[in-house]
Every structure is written in structure tokens, then in C-alpha cells.
A and B are shown apart, each in its own frame.
Chain A
Amino acid sequence: MSRHAWLLIPILLLSSPLAAQTPEEKGLAIAVEADRRDSGWGDMQGELEMILRNRNGDESRRQLRSRSLEVKGDGDKTLIIFDAPPDVKGTAFLSYTHATRPDDQWLYLPALKRVKRISSANKSGPFMGSEFAYEDIASQEVEKYRYKYLRDEVLDGRPVFVIERYPRYRNSGYTRQVAWIDQETYRPAKVEFYDRKNALLKTLTYHDYKLHLGRYWRAHRMEMVNHQTGKSTTLLWKNIRFRTGLTARDFDRNALKRAR
């Protein structure tokens, strides 16, 4: 082997995986890398405000508290407590996300003190009347989609990957999603949602990213715009805390009943 050939080896090592990859493999590789970078956070709590707007600009507000637990080898567990509007205050929603089988979900109804197991087939339904569907707020597991890399682009001055993902789970309201993923941080910048007729339905953009624990990027503002109805929802995250010591015990049906 000549001296020049030695110089070529690192270049080949860098480029050959990309060259040999199909767009599907490259799309999956991007999703896997994004998931890898966002793993190990343990548990997370925060407060949420949703501002719902109709096409006339009338606003309605929702206040929620969210707790999440990372589960190794399975989807995350999430508990959401409703604080406002006051008629649903005390209602709580518990979800065990699973990568391949349907999620387990329970709702706590404080007026009856009743914990009700609910169907998770309601993927495409609006969450609290907002433009976020249940499937949009669920934890994003790699196995939930098939992927396809489309192209590189520059979005707001930053290089991004543009990938397409197709839901593999049943009852999705989408045929596909197009996601703009930041090439440096692997955090999402924008997602377009296409409905069952493959028409553009919604666009989600991520804003006010902050770095937590020196490693985890979280958007503190998300804007979801429905192009078909003219409605939109702003989702604001406040007071995000990681590794607060939550355990599986804080995500069982007893904890759901105690949640306030």
C-alpha cells in the first residue's frame, strides 16, 4: 500500500457508511443518533401552559404539570395533571408508552374519584381541545416510525437534515411527517404533519431551546399551526427540572389518585 493510500483510509471510513446507506438507513441512523443523545435523563418535571387560538384569534388557556420517567428498554412513563381551566382541575392522565405494542393509559376523574383505563387508540384526537394530538405529545420512540432521509438544508442559518417518518403504530392521523433535525445537536427544529389524505395538516416549530444538565436540549416554546382550520396552539414549558428523584412508584395508579 502506498503512502497516499494510507491517507485515503480515514476519508473512506468517513464517507463509505453514507455512500452505502440507502435513504431509509440514513433516516433511521439520524433518528437513532437523536435518541441516543437524548437518553439517560432519568426523570423530568415541568409546568406547561397551552394557549389555544381559533381563527378569529380568540384565546383559551390550559395549565398542566408534567412528570416523565425514562424507562430503559421500553417507552417512557408520563403523568400529566390538569390545573386549568378550573372545571377540569385535578384531572390527571397517566401513560405508559410502548415502542411496539399499544400504550397503556389511565385517566383520573376527581369528581367520582375514579381511575378509568382508557383506550390508547385515540392517537389522532386533540389533547384538551388543542392542535396537539395525543400522538404528538406521546414520547417519541425510534421504533414508532419508519424513516427516510430526504436532503440536507439550511434552516434559520443552521444546517439541518430533512427526514420523513411514517408511523408504524395503528390509528395514526398521519400518513407521514417531515422533520427538520439540527445537524449539530440532533434536536428537532420543525415538523410538518400530513393527514390521512396526504394533505398538509399542521406545522410544529420549536423555539427557545435551552440546554439542561449540559446535554439535553428542550424547546421551551412550541408553536403548532393547523393549516386546514386556521387554529393554532402555543405550548410553553416552564420550570423544567431533571433528575428530581421520581421513581416508578410515582407513575402507578395510586400516584394518579393522589396527584394534585
Chain B
Amino acid sequence: MRFGDAIAVAVLCLAGSQAPAWAGRSEWSGEAALEARYFPEPPLSPVQHGDNLSVSARPEYYREWDGGRQAFRVELFGRADQGDDERTRADVRELSWTYAGGDWELTAGIGRVFWGVTESLHLVDIVNQTDQVENPDGEDKLGQPMIRVALIRDWGTVEAFVLPYFRERTFPGPRGRLWPAVPLAPAVYESPRRRRHVDAALRWSHATGIWDLGLSVFRGTSREPRFAVVLDPLGRIQAIVPVYEIIDQVGVDLQATVDAWLWKLEWIRRRGQGPDFDALAAGFEYTFYGVRDTPADVGLVVEYLYDGRDDPFQAPFANDVFVGLRLALNDVQTTELLAGVIADLDTDERFYSIEASRRVGERWTVSLEGRWFSGGPALSLVNVLRNDDYLQLEVTRHF
């Protein structure tokens, strides 16, 4: 579905509602942010930028009517970046209409969904494409055109998705950091329909007692591309080619919540992208509440990461352990910190990360983010990014 179609759907739905229904709520909100990234080391390639400034805005509109049964939401995102043209862009994160019946829901338009339970990696989460140029952590997502039908029963929720249009993963440009300084060739698709291949997904999820369980299947264009390389006659890499194949993926996500322990597991099996493979993220989060008679909480997160692919660029976390520390001061300013490392159990490859944030006044937040890459075999992702360690300060104004 093109944006225009989605708007038409939304407008028709709005027009179809009864006059008194306009008494529903509607509101604008959003945020604007200034981001500064400091790179302590020079780039591997002289064309890549150094320290960097960037501004972004994320306006949101929400309207509900028909006694809250129908809702229309829009979320836009735009960024202007000093150093990387690929990071200067705009995206429709959400533009959707939802109808919530008694025991069913229908969503049409551009939407975002999240599946999964683990903290260090989101294996099961497959509906939305990753906005990799936004942040290397993979948690930013592009809007996905979709029709979603959910049936809500005592034995769980079944959701069916039809995904009629594909979005390519974003990557930093030739001048950008946090990606090899090699040109990105146009994407190659397995399906002749390319972006218009209609993908589908089905998910069952249920919460009962201590358990939260999800089972999902996906058939369609892999959100994660496989990377091929173009070599020159001397065997040097000239370009990276993202290859989008048609895959079948099954996923399981499971959490057991027992007192202050959260036991988590995500497992996927994917077919259609080379040999079939499995990937796993499993571990626990334990929280010490009210440490030393203060309101602060300290949490320990430990997750084991496995990936059946033997490719340290494509799948850097093949046999790794994530150890993270989460600190929440539970103060008026909501001061929080998450620091962790993903350590390869076979090599000296390490990926360190720290994220901290704090509210200032009623409408501002300040956040700090740092990532460090060290070790790893030649051509592993962490090794390729060895000079792209960074420290980022972001100031956000909320509206």
C-alpha cells in the first residue's frame, strides 16, 4: 500500500463515522532533539566524517472516536545530519486506523509492532524493518504498510498480518560512520516482484500465570539482508550488495516471571537464506529492588546469544554472552542507566554499550550513549567498526 492509499483508507474511515462520534479525543504531541556524536578515533577511511551534529523531530497525532473503538494515529520522523546524507531523511513511522471490536481488532495503514522478550538482541521481532542508519542498536524501526487482524480469545491472541510492501534496511552512507566505508550497491531481490512481494505473518501469544508465550511464523522478504560483495580484479571489496531473499521463519518467545527473576528465551529458525539455521537468545534479568534502603533498583541482565551462521560480519553474536547492569534511581527525574558488554566466547571480540537518561524540568530529557568496539577477527563487524567508538549526547524537548 502506498502512503496515498493509506491516507485514503484513513479519510474514508473518518468520514464514515457518525457526527456525535467526533466528540472523541484528539491530540498532537512529539519531540525534537539535538544530537552530538564524538568519535575519539579518526575514521578508517578519510572520506568518513568526524564529530557530528544532528537534529531530529518526531511529531505525533492521535485521534479516537466511536467511544474509543476507532483510532487514527500518525507518527512522522525526520532527521537532518551534518555528516551523513543517508541519515538526513524523513519517514512515516505510523499512519494507521484501528478498529477495536469486542474480541477482535483490525489495523490498516502503516504501523509498527514489536515481538519478543530479550534485551540484547531482538531475534523474533520481524515485521518492521530496522532503521540501521538511525542507531546501530537496531531498536529503531521503519513504518511497515500492513493489514493486521487480531482475534482475542481466552486461550490467547491470534494476529494475522498481510504486509504488501517491503522497506529496505537503511545503512550509513559512504561518508557515514558505524558502517564499512564501502559503497552500497543497489539491493538484489529473490522475488521478481521485488518490494511488492506480499509478505505474511501469523502470531499466537498468551499470558497465563507466570508465563508469557508467543509463537510466530513469517513468510516473505527477509528484513535482514544477506551481504554479497563485489570484488575488483585484485580481490579488493568494491561494493556491498544487500540481497533480500524470500524466507520462512518460525519464532518462539517465552518469559517466566518469578518474583524478581525474569527468565527469557527467544529462538528462531530461518529457511531460505543459504542453509537453514537457528538463532537463540536466552537468559535472565534479576532486579535488586530498593538497594541499601534507597528507592534505587539495580538489575543484572545475562543473556547467551547463539547464531548458527558462521559469518562474523553477518551474524557477529554467534556464541556470545551479554552481561548488562541496569540502574534506575526511581527519582523525580527518572534517572536511568544501562551498561553492558557482548563478549564473544571464542575470540577477543567485545562490544560495549552504555545508555543513560534523565529528565530536566518537565519537558526536557538529556541522554548519554556510548558504544565501543574491540577485537574480533578480520572482516568481523566489530573489527570493521574498531575506529567508530563514539560517545553521544542528546538533548530532547518533548511537546
- Contact surface of A with B, Cβ cutoff 8 Å: 52, 54, 60-61, 84-90, 102, 104, 106, 112-126, 129, 170-171, 173, 196, 249, 252-255, 258, 260
Given contacts A86-B362, A113-B113, contact A121 B157 (CB under 8 A): no
- Point out the residue from A125, A170, A258 that lies within 8 Å of B290, measured CB to CB: A125
Chain A residues within an 8 Å CB radius of B365? 87
- Point out the residue from B62, B71, B157, B398 that lies within 8 Å of A254, measured CB to CB: B157
CB distance from A87 to the nearest CB of B (A): 5
Chain A residues within an 8 Å CB radius of B331? 129
Instruction: Decide if B359 touches A260 in the complex (CB within 8 Å).
Output: no
Given contacts A85-B398, A129-B331, contact A117 B257 (CB under 8 A): yes
Residue on B with the closest CB to A121?
B260
Query: Would you call B5 an interface residue if the criterion is a C-beta within 8 Å of the partner chain's C-beta atoms?
Result: no
- Contact surface of B with A, Cβ cutoff 8 Å: 25, 29, 31, 62, 64, 71, 73, 98, 100, 102-103, 105, 112-114, 116-117, 139, 150, 152, 157, 205, 207, 212, 255, 257, 259-262, 287, 289-290, 293, 295, 297, 330-334, 359, 362-363, 365, 396, 398-399
Question: Count of A-B contacts with CB under 8 A?
Answer: 107
Residue on A with the closest CB to B334?
A129
Bound Cα distance from A124 to B260, whole angstroms: 13
Between-chain CB contacts (< 8 Å), 26 pairs: A85-B359, A86-B29, A86-B398, A86-B399, A87-B334, A87-B396, A87-B398, A90-B29, A106-B207, A112-B114, A112-B139, A113-B112, A119-B257, A119-B259, A119-B261, A120-B257, A121-B260, A121-B289, A122-B260, A129-B330, A129-B331, A129-B334, A170-B259, A254-B100, A258-B98, A258-B105
Closest 8 CB pairs of A and B: A86-B398, A121-B260, A129-B332, A114-B114, A113-B114, A117-B212, A87-B398, A126-B295
Residue on A with the closest CB to B112?
A113
Given contacts A86-B363, A112-B114, A113-B113, contact A126 B330 (CB under 8 A): yes
CB distance from A200 to the nearest CB of B (A): 15
Bound Cα distance from A249 to B100, whole angstroms: 10
Chain A residues within an 8 Å CB radius of B103? 249
B100, B262, B290, B334 pick with most chain A CB within 10 angstroms? B290
Given contacts A54-B332, A113-B113, A249-B103, contact A121 B98 (CB under 8 A): no
